[in-house]
Structure 1
Amino acid sequence: MSDLATIVDVPSQKTGSSQAIIDCASGTVGGIVQVLVGQPFDTVKVRLQTQSTTNPVYSGMMDCVRQIRQREGLGGFYKGTTTPLVGIGACVSIQFVVLESMKRTFAGKNNDPLTNTQFYMAGAASGVANSIVSGPVEHIRTRLQVQTGPNGYKGPVDCIKQIYSAHGLAGIYKGQAITVLREFQGYGAYFLAYEWLVKRSMEKTQRKRTELPAWEVCMYGAAAGYAMWMTVYPVDIIKSKLQTDGFDKATRKYSSALDCARKIMAVEGFGGFFRGIGVCLLRAAPSNAATFMGFELAMRMFSH
């Protein structure tokens, strides 16, 4: 049985367009699985992140879950799912295509082993490339996720049309700068953590990468998810607030990411940067394990 470590941690043996197509298709599968597993967690996270501090709707994570279930049914947890199903699938495929390309570039003609810094930079590059899609996808998703009344957007297409009609492409890419920052650090930490854990396991057990069992790869994927979110969660808080903020000066609460950070600190203190982190960390393990498993199974199928 092939192992994801051989795909993610070392330069691919195949090169050229055929390998890029396999990486892209497999990443799409991994991204779709990630959304299906993680969307309910993300909806709760965004609701907690963006609710008013002076008149909060939810007292905590479980209260948020209870209220969504009572008022909106199970479908409430999957609001805005259509956009990320397409978009996050594209994001994950972009991540793996860029990651593999960067690793091959760093390895060079002699197939030199990559350093931790190189793995971090390869992951960071994949995050920046992926932000071109993840920025607008997450913007539309968060707008839909925080809707609780009947007078909002009718769905992702209607949301895109209304925002683009009123504010153009800049409106669709609202919060893009902070998204790029989050993706750079987040995916740099993500792939660095994964590689370090794989390397450590190989040194302890004297196994080859191809001999790492699937459960271990899933465990490392989950741990990598924790590494990502523990290092970027405050940035994600700011991103969510900016992307659900008003578009014009009359309705806007924050003039910039820095202004948002200052106001969070002034009103909520340091804890305000970690609101909703519990549900985020609960999501990290199953969501990232599912992503890696989906990617691995797709790689096995597409490689035959």
Structure 2
Amino acid sequence: MAEKKVSSLPAKLINGGVAGLVGVTCVFPIDLAKTRLQNQQGVPVYKGMMDCLAKTVRSEGYFGCYRGAAVNLTLVTPEKAIKLAANDVFRQKLSKDGHLPLWGEVLAGCGAGTCQVVVTTPMEMLKIQLQDAGRLAAQRTVPTAAQAAAPGPAQTLVAPPPARPSPPPPPRASATGITVELLKTRGLAGLYRGAGATLVRDVPFSMIYFPLFANLNALGRERVGDVQVRAPFWQSFMAGCGAGSVAAVAVTPLDVIKTRLQTLQKGDGEETYKGIVDCTRRIMTREGPSAFLKGAACRALVIAPLFGIAQGVYFLGVGETLLGLLG
């Protein structure tokens, strides 16, 4: 089957929105594990993705794996819609006679990544606070290095003072409460904390992802005149998974920096950073180069199916069908 005629912008926005909703619903627990693993400093609470998910279910219940999902599901529609639609629009503008050179594909991806930051930054800012709250609560039950090295009762010469009752846990945070507090104390800039790091992450991601996806999606497809045969659903899905996993791992160091900068509440002994350069330097000095790959496997497992589902749904043409029914 030949490619359909160029879709309208409203159809592209609907396709991107539906794709984002489906994808996020499927992979959000792994994204939660990624955030918690990336924020770990010092004594680890979680040994890996499966350990994180298992402890989260035990302590917070199954729906604890979806903390912050409401924010993501609310804002992922405009975020994915902008990203996918902007890339299509830029590709159309940069194409000549139906052909787009590699530099045009990279530039279109750059434009898409830049456009989405206006929604991605506040979305991830709120999501990270909600996702990381469970890690901070669990960290309180993990003994520190000093406590582990302290002498036992047989070695203690003086009787220890009676234990003080632990303070009650803080009230459970909500996206609305965090938003109101940030707007009160820091204004709109509070919601855009880490915008520079988000841009530095998303632009390279899109510059890698979109050209790679387009070329994988075109493999083995013939042309009928000037029109290329449309890829089947499975090829679009697999192309999205492959391109997504490669791009995700490539920019994981930038994602670690962004996550650390956007995390407002820090655990005992955890660092606070002044910016991208300061964060990079402190992580390198304190934790070593391997810290920049924390959560890389989780991130690949999140992004691969997310973009596979997104591209598959996008190419099904849900928006065109819906607009056709309404029209």
Q: TM-score, normalised by structure 1?
A: 0.87
What is the aligned partner in structure 1 of residue 35 from structure 2? 46
**1:195 aligns with one of 214, 218, 227:** 214
In structure 2, C-alpha distance between the alignment counterparts of 1:172 and 1:185, rounded to whole Å: 22
Larger Rg: 2
In structure 1, C-alpha distance between the alignment counterparts of 2:229 and 2:170, rounded to whole Å: 53
- TM-fit CA distance, 1:25: 1.1
**2:18 aligns with one of 16, 19, 29:** 29
8 A contact 1:246–1:252 mirrored in 2: no
Q: Give CA deviations for 1:159-204 in whole Å, capped at 9, x if unaligned.
A: 1111111111111100000101111110111101111213333379
User: Is 1:85 equivalent to 2:65 in the alignment?
Assistant: no
**1:130 aligns with one of 108, 116, 125:** 116
What is the aligned partner in structure 2 of residue 239 from structure 1? 258
Deviating 4+ runs (over 4 angstroms): none
**Structure with the bigger percentage of helix:** 1
User: Is 1:100 equivalent to 2:120 in the alignment?
Assistant: no
Structure 2, unpaired ranges of 5+: 138-168
What is the aligned partner in structure 2 of residue 270 from structure 1? 289
In structure 2, C-alpha distance between the alignment counterparts of 1:49 and 1:198, rounded to whole Å: 32
Give the counterpart letter for 1:260 in structure 2.
C
Q: Give CA deviations for 1:81-107 in whole Å, capped at 9, x if unaligned.
A: 111112111111111221122112112
8 A contact 2:283–2:291 mirrored in 1: yes
- Of the structure 1 ranges 23-32 and 150-159, higher mean CA displacement relative to structure 2 is found in 150-159
Q: Give CA deviations for 1:92-149 in whole Å, capped at 9, x if unaligned.
A: 11112211221121125xx340011111111111111001100110010001100024
Structure 1, unpaired ranges of 5+: none
In structure 2, C-alpha distance between the alignment counterparts of 1:131 and 1:275, rounded to whole Å: 23
Say how many residue pairs are matched.
Answer: 286
Three-state SS of the structure 2 residue aligned to 1:202 is coil
**2:298 aligns with one of 263, 276, 279:** 279
What is the aligned partner in structure 1 of residue 234 from structure 2? 215
User: Is 1:58 equivalent to 2:78 in the alignment?
Assistant: no
What is the aligned partner in structure 2 of residue 173 from structure 1? 192
RMSD: 2.4
**1:258 aligns with one of 267, 277, 280:** 277
In structure 1, C-alpha distance between the alignment counterparts of 2:299 and 2:171, rounded to whole Å: 26
In structure 2, C-alpha distance between the alignment counterparts of 1:157 and 1:293, rounded to whole Å: 33
Percent identity at matched positions? 27
**2:321 aligns with one of 282, 285, 301:** 301
In structure 2, C-alpha distance between the alignment counterparts of 1:31 and 1:259, rounded to whole Å: 33
1:145-164 residue pairs with structure 2 within 5 A? 145-148=131-134, 149=137, 150-164=169-183
